[in-house]
Amino acid sequence: MAEATLKIFRGTREGGTPAEYHVPVAPGMVVLDALHYVQQHQAPDLAVRWNCKAGKCGSCSAEVNGRPRLTCKTRMDTLPQDKPIAILPMKSFPVIKDLVTDVSWNYKVNKKIPPFQPRAGVEWKMYQEDVDRVQEFRKCIECFLCQNVCHVLREHDKQEQFGGPRFFVRVAGLEMHPLDALNRTGLLKNELGIGFCNITKCCTEVCPEDIHITDNAIIPLKERVVDDFYDPLLGLVRKIRNAVSPSKRQPNE
């Protein structure tokens, strides 16, 4: 049986180094299997976050040979076997131990987003063509790989001013819900800092669920923000239209 060499980061917030492990490679094996092999045979205290090992929970994110991946969906046979496979924790989040990072910031951002609020007296009818695009956003498994690669967070550390692609996807799912009554453009502009995104599409590239984050979520949301805050003519049209038949309103209106 072929053997692979893994170089896995071992350490904590205080620092650490990669350690080398040798793992036999079975057909169809994924990187998470290799990590489990290391736990079972060589390092029982190797910290790895995972749950389903089926690509559904989004827990096992790491950087494999420099690429942010779900380790449960990264086949060993897609990686060069003639040199060590480097496995590092996600860079944009503080390391807790080994491959486990502190992703609690994401849960704090999530709390800022006003939830779905149905329009008053709504009839609960929706058509497939209306929910199709929202269902795309709701495929998100919160692996936070998009947050990890976004340079606004990764290089510029704008955690205080910026929500990150994951939460633009969540807001898009709410804003484009056919029966939702709220307008969250103020939140997007101010608290979530959508203006920082300069649509480099790094998030879209790493999404394991193939959500078109930039094209389908961020760009349409940016357009809404521009319409609401920077286009005086459209703003006026909307004011008049709202006075006649109210559409989406800001949370505090």
Are 7 and 46 a contacting pair, CB within 8 Å?
no
Is 174 an interacting residue with respect to another protein (CB under 8 A)? Answer: yes
Q: How far is the CB of 246 from another protein (least distance, A)?
A: 20
Contact status: 228 vs another protein (CB under 8 A): no
Instruction: Name the nearest CA neighbour of 206 among 49, 88, 35, 58.
Output: 58
**Which positions from 32 through 61 interact with another protein, judged by CB under 8 A?**
33, 39-41, 44-59
Check: CB of residue 69 under 8 Å from CB of residue 61. Answer: yes
Q: Which stretch binds another protein (CB under 8 A): 80-88, 90-98, 156-164, 222-230?
A: 90-98
Residues 190-219 that bind another protein (CB under 8 A): none
Q: What's the min distance (Å) between Cβ of 32 and another protein?
A: 9
Cβ contact 62:146 at 8 Å: no
CA distance 94 to 202: 20
- Among all chains, which residue has been given the structure tokens 């209306």? 130
Alpha helices in 160-206 (DSSP H): 165-175, 185-189, 202-206
Stretch that binds another protein, among 115-123, 158-166, 213-221, 228-236 (CB under 8 A): 115-123
Cα separation, 207 vs 197, in Å, equals 17
Give whichever of 101 and 222 is closer to another protein, judged by the CB atom. Answer: 101
In the structure encoding, which two tokens stand for residue 83, read together? 């040199």
Asked whether position 251 contacts another protein by CB under 8 A, the answer is no
Footprint on this chain of another protein (rule: CB under 8 A): 12, 26-30, 33, 39-41, 44-59, 73, 75, 96-98, 100, 103-104, 107, 110-111, 115-116, 118, 124-128, 131, 134-135, 138-139, 141-142, 174, 177, 180
